[in-house]
């Protein structure tokens, strides 16, 4: 599977549609300093375009494998293309994530891909651990790794925004636990 080709084609499709999108999941974690193994491309897209994905992606050899209001998943008939998983941004928090996404150069010159900010990636991980309690431990490990990577890079982290994501689900105590030992390391 070729991530660069998949992202290039995906970017061209979304640009033609004028659809906002951003990489999330393992690819975003890697960009933020926490490499993860993955075989798919996870992206957040403007939910207003979700119903148009079937036709748009069919031209690239994709077909839908699962869909519900919040997400859609696509498989490719081409072995060189990655499976695609989309979260549909419809609420203020996820639409704001799209607005804040930053373009990052990937795979050589010329490929600029929007990626959610680390705070927003953490927010999506908090939601994932609430939606699927079996993922809780793994998501907390990932969040701690993202916090440690931000500290190591001396990246500015908007702790208030991250705390807000934890507060939405009454999980502020988890954020406090994750911050232990990092309080002074995060600018």
**Statement: residue 164 has pLDDT above 80:** yes
**pLDDT at 156 (0 to 100):** 85
What average pLDDT score do residues 119-133 get? 97
- Distance from C-alpha of 186 to C-alpha of 42, rounded to nearest angstrom: 27
- How much is the pTM? 0.94
Cα 68 to Cα 71: distance, rounded to the nearest angstrom = 6
Residue 7 exposure: Cα atoms within 13 Å on the Cβ side: 25
**pLDDT tens figures, 11-32:** 999 999 999 999 999 999 999 9
Q: Which is nearest to 40 in space by CA: 48, 28, 32?
A: 28
> Can you tell me whether residue 93 is helix, strand or coil?
helix
Give the chain's mean pLDDT: 93
Question: What pLDDT, on a 0 to 100 scale, did the predictor assign at position 187?
Answer: 65
Q: What is the pLDDT of residue 2?
A: 87
What is the pLDDT, as a whole number, of residue 19? Answer: 96
Q: What is the reported pLDDT for 184? A: 75
| DSSP 8-state secondary structure symbol assigned to residue 10 | H
Cα 17 to chain centroid, rounded: 20
**CA 167 centroid distance within chain:** 20
* Phi, psi dihedral angles at 184 (to 5 degrees): -90, -15
């Amino acid at each position: 599977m070729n991530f660069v080709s998949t992202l290039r084609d995906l970017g061209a499709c979304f640009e033609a549609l004028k659809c906002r999108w951003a990489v999330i999941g393992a690819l975003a974690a890697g960009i933020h300093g926490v490499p993860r193994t993955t075989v798919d491309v996870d992206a957040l897209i403007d939910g207003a375009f979700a119903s148009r994905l079937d036709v748009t992606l069919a031209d690239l050899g994709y077909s839908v494998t699962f869909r519900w209001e919040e997400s859609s998943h696509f498989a490719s008939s081409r072995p060189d293309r990655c499976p695609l998983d989309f979260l549909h941004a419809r609420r203020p928090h996820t639409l704001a994530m799209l607005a804040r996404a930053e373009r990052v150069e990937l795979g050589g010159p010329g490929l600029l891909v929007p990626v959610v900010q680390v705070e927003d990636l953490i927010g999506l991980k908090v939601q994932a651990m609430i939606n699927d309690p079996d993922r809780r431990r793994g998501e907390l490990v990932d969040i701690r790794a993202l916090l440690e990577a931000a500290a190591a890079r001396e990246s500015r982290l908007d702790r208030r925004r991250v705390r807000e994501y934890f507060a939405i689900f009454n999980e502020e105590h988890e954020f406090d636990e994750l911050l232990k030992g990092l309080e002074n390391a995060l600018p």
